[in-house]
Structure 1
């Protein structure tokens, strides 16, 4: 994997214009430093609009601000929008936002570019935070090339298959303890129409490297495909990649949700919650919403490991984590927020005020020994932890990889490449072109990236 030097933001932008960095940065490159930023007793936090984050937003003033006197100004956006805004602000080191939600994809790359404040030293001094309690796969995924920690997880996740136990029982269907994708396809056909308006399965079809391409890439891995081989040769028209993509597209077109090409995580969560689908393959973090006190499907969902074909496991590894911008004017106050939001105390707060199934889990070992959490999350907590600890980000398929990542390729260019490829495949899901055409176009896009990396 290519090493990128820690250059000044202007130099970084010039490199981006030359095609060596993330394309989303281009729109913000020539804005220069600036922004109102934070100051005094306030910090600015930019975060994704997932349910766990919106709950955090509601709890912050009455607890964190009351305890510390630090006001938190939140900007909350959908996933694709928040990624673009973060990349612009952090690449410019504008300092408008002190803290942002970043994933284990961005953090090593941002750290390499000098955009993030190192957090390991804060964690070591903050004994109440208990850094060693963070699950090892999460710590490792947020560590830079220099061995330092640059992020702290808010919640961690892998992926698994969720299904309506009651519907399966009425239809006489049996979910295997460790299903294959072919078994899932067979079950989807049988569960299709089990209730009025119910489809067999929901799978993401919404364009976006973090939307459609996340679950699809795990299917590619277990079917024997890969984006790039160990020599950086693009392999999107290889038999494994093509077979997996045809399978995914055919499955969602035949037995998936209506409007699949515009359905992402949020839409599939709503479909399963509202009884519109019998199965859903997606993030383990969804279980908290499905098992919440107000969920109409609480107690009706079964959870099994991510389906496989040629690999023993296929679940992804992902965390929405907190990163502190290097240009932050308030790094100490930013750490106080991060340590509160990712700490054991916050998990207890959510458990007591909202419900233990809503706890942002998947990051701390202690969560899985807490009696209250184990009782409330009994339906999914063991499967979730096993999926996280069994994830193999450096060896997720059947062949060696040139860069880490399960549901992504850990290079800066993947945001642009993955999004463009997802648009082609989403078009195939919508019936506007064939899978073969989509992959031939995608191969050409990947070939351009491969030229930058071959021989490195």
Structure 2
């Protein structure tokens, strides 16, 4: 049942952390070439630019990339890995998929490739990243970058309006500031929040709001709580904040759209992935570089609320190109690769959040001075085993670590997106979600 539900559910998934981008590219490859299926976000687009003149030049191994937007990526990677199609040697996966897929024997264990490689230095990988990518004590994916979530805001706009952002704001404080900076500049909205359907698009940030409002998808006995007062209050708050002070077309706005809105000066605040900061601080693509401040993920009933995620590289168990695939994965997650990105593309663009040593590089410390330490602190504060105010039946901050959640979260997000677009009510959307959650709970009660 796990395998069947995993395929059906994950094929419907949205993005689970940072996301965005589109397009695709490939090299001629052939022979020992490594085929890589990856999500089209800025960090992945960077690695495509750098591969030929670094990894391929040094190893002779060509890399054939396929790049897809996240919703399409999840469908494609699930079909390939779960069915054993064998089209790709390396795939982009996250902290949600890896433990589930490892138990289904869909992924190749990686310990033998990294444990004895002193140059790779697996001990340098941050413990939260390794733990999220492991199952039964074995490592099944290598983190490309890690992230939590935090609040990004325009320092200059808040100063202009005589406002101060607390280091650890509450959601009520954020809503108050959003109202006051809405319209502070021509066409500027107060905040951007994901409204695009998807268990990992909308519900990545929204589930953290649910957690800190005192809600949960399921209690420790697998009783669904989707229509509980706390869950309802959180969704009401989120939807109303978007409707009153959020970005236009919010029901179709995900990570990519909010990144564009923030980097182009169209919104004053944005709550999302810590990994977005590197793009915001890159003056070649962002109009607001140097103008952005960063604060911890907003809270209400909990001490912290940031999520925990890593986009990582995994090797499908059925690939017949394991050694070359492992070489690529180690290079793409190495200290050497981070150095290459910093030197050639800029230090703010380093795919950080996975290695302790990254935060000791002087050039990176300087470039990430406003967001680097906060990113690391947020990652270390995230607790997938206890993210809310009550015991949970399984792990996950911004997701529930079961195969069925991909389908459940996506269905509920579609109903909420309709409410954001002006159709229906939060109460009706969550009543339907409660019914769908009850069907899932029967598998575990």
Tell me the residue number matched to 1:355. Answer: 346
SS at match of 2:365: helix
Matches within 5 A, 1:2-401: 12=3, 16=4, 20-24=5-9, 40-144=31-135, 146-294=136-284, 295-401=286-392
- CA displacement at 1:22 relative to structure 2: 3.7
Tell me the residue number matched to 1:7. Answer: none
User: Does the alignment pair 1:440 with 2:425?
Assistant: no
Deviations 1:198-249 (A, max 9, x none): 0000000000111001000000000000000000011001111000000000
SS at match of 1:399: coil
Deviations 1:275-313 (A, max 9, x none): 110000000000000011312111100000000000000
- CA displacement at 1:358 relative to structure 2: 0.2
Contact 1:24 1:84 in 2 (8 A): no
- CA displacement at 1:40 relative to structure 2: 2.7
- CA displacement at 1:21 relative to structure 2: 3.5
- Alpha-carbon distance in 1 for matches of 2:265, 2:67: 28
Deviations 1:38-76 (A, max 9, x none): 963211100000000001011111111111111111010
SS at match of 1:346: helix
- CA displacement at 1:177 relative to structure 2: 1.2
Task: Please identify runs of 4+ aligned residues in structure 1 that moved more than 6 A.
Answer: none
- CA displacement at 1:25 relative to structure 2: 6.6
- Alpha-carbon distance in 2 for matches of 1:22, 1:233: 24
Contact 1:25 1:88 in 2 (8 A): no
SS at match of 1:304: strand
Query: Which TM-score applies when normalising by structure 2?
Result: 0.95
Tell me the residue number matched to 2:15. Answer: none
SS at match of 1:322: strand
SS at match of 1:96: coil
- Alpha-carbon distance in 1 for matches of 2:431, 2:63: 47
Contact 2:190 2:267 in 1 (8 A): yes
Matches within 5 A, 1:390-429: 390-429=381-420
- Alpha-carbon distance in 2 for matches of 1:155, 1:90: 22
Contact 1:101 1:322 in 2 (8 A): yes
SS at match of 2:351: coil
- Alpha-carbon distance in 2 for matches of 1:24, 1:437: 23
Contact 1:206 1:426 in 2 (8 A): yes
Contact 2:10 2:403 in 1 (8 A): no
- Alpha-carbon distance in 1 for matches of 2:6, 2:373: 39
In structure 1, the gaps of 5 or more residues are 5-11, 28-37
- CA displacement at 1:94 relative to structure 2: 1.4
In structure 2, the gaps of 5 or more residues are 13-28
Tell me the residue number matched to 2:26. Answer: none
Deviations 1:83-102 (A, max 9, x none): 01010000111111010010
- Alpha-carbon distance in 1 for matches of 2:364, 2:264: 25
Tell me the residue number matched to 2:440. Answer: 449
SS at match of 2:63: strand
The 1:257–1:109 alpha-carbon spacing in structure 2 relative to 1, beyond 3 Å, is same
Contact 2:10 2:406 in 1 (8 A): no
- Alpha-carbon distance in 1 for matches of 2:178, 2:404: 35
